[in-house]
Amino acid sequence: MSHPYAKNKTDLLTRLRRIEGQVRGVQKMIEEDRYCVELLTQLAAIKNATHKVALSILDAHTRGCVADAIHHRASENEKIDELMEVIRQFTKG
């Protein structure tokens, strides 16, 4: 069975490979004794890119899984509980 993010699979994989490269990049910067602030800027970029990938999947999930559960009135409350829990993980204080 495929999930709603499947239609963006290629795009998501490309973005995650780029993030993987950025994480390796920071390791290299540490090996090369690069200046702290350069590392921090790169780490902020990784967090930001990861967040954007998550928002894409969350968007597909809401339009797909959550809307389906609501249409079919099938475990509607559980799906919304789960969605709210995910939102809580991504939105802090």
Virtual torsion, Cα 26, 31, 35, 41, nearest 10 deg: 0
**Among 13, 74, 75, 78, which residue interacts with its own copies (rule: CB under 8 A)?**
13
CA distance 91 to 93: 7
Q: Is position 16 an interface residue for its own copies (rule: CB under 8 A)?
A: yes
Number of chain residues interacting with its own copies (CB under 8 A): 64
Count of C-beta atoms within a 10 Å radius of residue 64:
16
For position 7 contacting its own copies by CB under 8 A, the verdict is: no
Minimal distance, residue 47 CB to its own copies, in Å: 5
Q: Which of residues 46-65 bind its own copies (CB under 8 A)?
A: 46-48, 50-51, 53-55, 57-65
Q: Is 30 in the site for its own copies (CB under 8 A)?
A: yes
